[in-house]
Each structure stands twice: as C-alpha cells, then as structure tokens.
Amino acid sequence: MACRSISGPARLLSKSARGLSSVPEYLVNAPAASVGALGSGVKVCAEETGGATATVGVFIDVGSRYENAANNGIANVAAQVCVDSIPAADKAALGGHFSAVVDREKTAITATVLKKDAGKALGLIASSLAGATNADTLECEKAGVVSAIQAARDAPETAVMEHLHSCAYLDTAMGMPVLGTYGSVSMIQAEDVDKFKSTFYTADKTVVCAAGMTSGELTSAASGFDALPSAGAAVEVAADPAIFTGSDIRMRFDSMPETSLAIAFEIPGWNSPEVVHYMALAEVLGTWEATSQKRSNAWQVFLQQITEEDCVGTAASSFMTLYKDTGLFGIYGQMPDCRNEEFMYYATMNLTRLCHRLTDTETEFAKAALKSKLLAAQDGDAALCNTMGEQMLALGRRVSLAEMVARVDALTTAELKKAAFDVLSDQEHALAAVGPIYELPDYNWIRRRSFWLRY
C-alpha cells in the first residue's frame, strides 16, 4: 500500500535558524514523526518509541457536536459498539487493552499491545469500523452508556463541566452532553448507528496514529482503512456554529456537603497563535486539592490566597478546553456553603489580575511548569498516540516537542497580559454551580469584577 507524504519533516533542523537557543539538544535531535496519507485519503502518523509495546489508534473528526437533540449520544454509542464488536477471543489473544473515547469533536478508538501485535490490533479496529451493527451488541452498549450517564452525574467536576458547556453554548449542539440523555440513548437503533458511521466514518475525516511503529509498518498495517467510504461517497454534514452566550446555570441543593462550580470565558480555538499563551496563563492560576501539601507554599498567587490559614475551598484548578473555532478558559472549584462568595472573590480577582499585574517571575515559573507538563504528556505510548491524533485532527500536522518548547520560551509577560486582556477584561462569562449555593453572588456581581477601573 503506497503512502504519500503530506508534510515536510517535522524536525526543527537548527537552533540558529529557528531561534531554539534555549531548547535542549535531545529535543531538537529527537526522531521526527512521519506523516503521510494512504491512497484513500486516510492520514497516517507514526512515531517510533523504542519500547516493547505500541499504542495504535484511529481518530475520527466527529463527536457530539455533529448530533442533534433526537440522536444525542450516538457518537459515543457508535464508538463503544465498534470496540465491543471486536471478538473477545481476538482481544484476549493479543493481551492488550482496547478503548473508545468520544468528546465534542473527536472519536478515538485505541489499542495498546505488544509491538509485534500492533498490526493485528489495527486490523481488528478497521474491521469493527466497517462492520454492520449487531442489535444485541447495541442494546448491551446502550445499557452501559446509561450507567455511565448516571456515574457522570455523580462526579461533581464532570457534571459541572457538562452544565458549563450547556450554558456557554446555549441552544447549540456544542452544549449538548457528550454521553447523551436517557431518552435519546434509549431511542437509538442499529440502523441509526450504521447511518451515522457511513456519514461520518469517512476517509477524509480519519487519522491513523501509532506510537511505537515505523512509518512503513504503519502504512502496511493500516491498509484495512482503505475500505472506509471516500469523501465523495458520503453526505458532508457541517457542525453547527459554536456561539458563546454569557449566562449561568445554578442548581441549589442545600443537602449536598459542598458547592462545585466553574466559571469560564471564551478563548479562540486550536488554530489561534495564542493557544500557548493561554496554556501558560492556566499554569499561573494553578491546581490544588485539600490533600495537597502545597497550600500557601505554592508559587501561584491564587492558590496562596485560597489556602492561607483556614482554606477557602477543598479544590481549585484552572482549565482550558480547545475546539476548532472556540474554547473555554476558567477556574473550577469546590468549597463549603459558607465560602461561595469568598471563593468567587478570589477567582474573579485573580482572573482579572492576569490582565494587569502579572509579574515576570510568575511568567518564568509558568513557562517552566508548562514545559514540564508538555513533557509529561508524552510519557508513554498511549499518551503520545492521543497527542498525535489530537494534533493531526485539529492542526493537520504533528507539532514537535522542540517547537512547543521554543514557543513557550519565546513568551513574554507583556504578551501574556495582552492575551489575557483580550478574553478576560470586561467580557461576558459562563458559570455553572451545583450544591448549597445560597451564598453564591449573582451574575452581575461577577460580571462587574471582570474589569478594574484604572486610569
């Protein structure tokens, strides 16, 4: 099977030519990912790791954003059915782990196996994508999804983030839950899944990635994906626009032990040149849990303030979620009922402080923390494969670690403050809160604290 290249070498060739004076040699000289395409249009990306195992996966440009109220959850059901349709004996023979993960814009079906079995695992995934849906398998998976929906509702952070999307992208497909609802999932039939797969599981939307295989090995093993429908054989379905709406959703339950809330502002999507800026700003805010020993020893001002003396909350973390044409940046927190207003005061103050009082010291700490996180995200075949697939779908190319580190090193305090000012200062926000929220300030109170009067 022929594989044509669709991009030049990902390696950054020289420090002087690319401004990589601060990038370690072991990153500059790291083996480059091999990116190409099969004859059918399926993109492939391979990166050798030198280990005994490999993670292979197919990443498809479809998720809950391409659904409607009637079939909400079908993207997740279809992916789970594909994994479950692989014969148990075949999976046991490989001794690996198969999984399917669906979000709002991406479907990922991956397998981690011994390197010698990576080609066989890809063959099983390819067969499952092309196969018809078995009614018994579908009913079994629907029952599993219903259980997952309940489990997601019982997980405070997961539930709040779903509510946050529903109010941030009010009345759009982006705001619908990824897993669907009890009603929509129960109505999905086998023919609905087959129609969904024939519409969206097409060659032009598919990327096959392998962490632990060479380009030649992946090209040969991925031949089964040539059976996917071509772009011209399927009806093109465009995703609904993701329109951000400043709003909030509040669910008061005084019987709950603590409040869970998230506040977010809209940021640009994957293709924005300022994505790295927002990644660094998220590190400035930081992450903390009550079990952590950081408390007031953390370098982040926000964490110092909420953990001084008697802690304001039991958990706090910044988050940044990116999509094709939009994104969310904000803070998630958990706190007792009597600390709602105090936590929100510190959260809004520190979000706005990023626009005006960010220091050079904080910038340098954030850059170091971000580089550490980028390196950790490449630790292991599974993490590396997921990063490859995400970048190929969102950007159309594999971004090397050397390039990312160079972009982080180039950040300045002035650039970070401007990026923060553009999306945080005097902007509408979305908020979701669940629990004993009788003390939580209203929308206008929070909106007023998104800017400072400075002359």
* Confidence at residue 136, expressed as pLDDT on a 0 to 100 scale: 93
* Confidence at residue 383, expressed as pLDDT on a 0 to 100 scale: 92
* Confidence at residue 21, expressed as pLDDT on a 0 to 100 scale: 57
State how far Cα 87 lies from the chain centre: 29
* Confidence at residue 3, expressed as pLDDT on a 0 to 100 scale: 53
Q: Residues 105, 65: contact at Cβ < 8 Å? A: yes
Residue 450 has pLDDT above 50, yes or no: yes
What tens digit of pLDDT does each residue of 391-413 get?
A: 999 999 999 889 999 999 999 99
User: Three-class SS of residue 288?
Assistant: strand
State how far Cα 188 lies from the chain centre: 26
- Residue 400, φ and ψ in degrees, nearest 5: -70, 155
Alpha-carbon span 257 to 2, nearest angstrom:
60
Evaluated on CA atoms 296, 297, 300, 303, the torsion sign reads negative
Residue 14 has pLDDT above 70, yes or no: no
What tens digit of pLDDT does each residue of 21-45 get?
A: 567 777 777 778 889 988 888 999 9
* Confidence at residue 426, expressed as pLDDT on a 0 to 100 scale: 96
Q: Which two tokens stand for residue 402?
A: 């050397």
Residue 308 has pLDDT above 70, yes or no: yes
Q: Which two tokens stand for residue 382?
A: 């599974």
Average pLDDT over residues 371-394: 91
Average pLDDT over residues 136-165: 94
What's the chain's length in residues? 455
* Confidence at residue 19, expressed as pLDDT on a 0 to 100 scale: 52
- Residue 137, φ and ψ in degrees, nearest 5: -65, -40
- Residue 134, φ and ψ in degrees, nearest 5: -85, 130
Distances (CA, A) of 165 to 172, 205, 242, 243, 350: 10, 24, 10, 11, 22
* Confidence at residue 12, expressed as pLDDT on a 0 to 100 scale: 31
Q: Residues 61, 108: contact at Cβ < 8 Å? A: no
Alpha-carbon span 185 to 196, nearest angstrom:
14
More confident residue, 1 or 190: 190
* Confidence at residue 377, expressed as pLDDT on a 0 to 100 scale: 84
* Confidence at residue 197, expressed as pLDDT on a 0 to 100 scale: 94
Evaluated on CA atoms 38, 43, 48, 53, the torsion sign reads negative
Closest CA to 63 of 230, 179, 187: 179
Average pLDDT over residues 6-35: 58
Q: Express as a percent the part of the chain with pLDDT over 70.
A: 92
User: Three-class SS of residue 429?
Assistant: coil
Q: Has domain 33-233 been given CATH number 3.90.1150.10? A: no
* Confidence at residue 240, expressed as pLDDT on a 0 to 100 scale: 78
Residue 8 has pLDDT above 60, yes or no: no
State how far Cα 263 lies from the chain centre: 18
Residue 296 has pLDDT above 80, yes or no: no
Average pLDDT over residues 330-356: 96
Residue 17 has pLDDT above 60, yes or no: no
Residue 275 has pLDDT above 80, yes or no: yes
Average pLDDT, the chain: 89
Would 33-233 and 247-448 be classified into the same CATH topology? yes
Residue 315 has pLDDT above 50, yes or no: yes
Lowest mean pLDDT among 15-24, 168-177, 366-375: 15-24
Q: Exposed, middle or buried, 44 (CB in 10 Å: 0-12/13-18/19+)? A: buried
CB atoms within 10 A of CB 449: 17
In which band, very low, low, confident or very high, does the pLDDT at 371 lie, cut at 50, 70 and 90?
Answer: very high
In which band, very low, low, confident or very high, does the pLDDT at 265 lie, cut at 50, 70 and 90?
Answer: very high
Segments making up each domain of the chain, as ranges: 33-233, 247-448
Alpha-carbon span 447 to 431, nearest angstrom:
11
* Confidence at residue 237, expressed as pLDDT on a 0 to 100 scale: 61
* Confidence at residue 34, expressed as pLDDT on a 0 to 100 scale: 87
Residue 168 has pLDDT above 80, yes or no: yes
What tens digit of pLDDT does each residue of 213-250 get?
A: 998 999 999 988 988 887 654 455 667 788 999 999 99
Q: Exposed, middle or buried, 359 (CB in 10 Å: 0-12/13-18/19+)? A: exposed
Angle subtended at Cα 277 by Cα 271 and Cα 281, rounded to the nearest 5 degrees: 135
In which band, very low, low, confident or very high, does the pLDDT at 20 lie, cut at 50, 70 and 90?
Answer: low
Q: Which two tokens stand for residue 423?
A: 């999306």
Q: What is the CATH number of domain 247-448?
A: 3.30.830.10
Q: Express as a percent the part of the chain with pLDDT over 90.
A: 75
Pairing of strands 107-114, 247-252: unpaired
* Confidence at residue 10, expressed as pLDDT on a 0 to 100 scale: 36
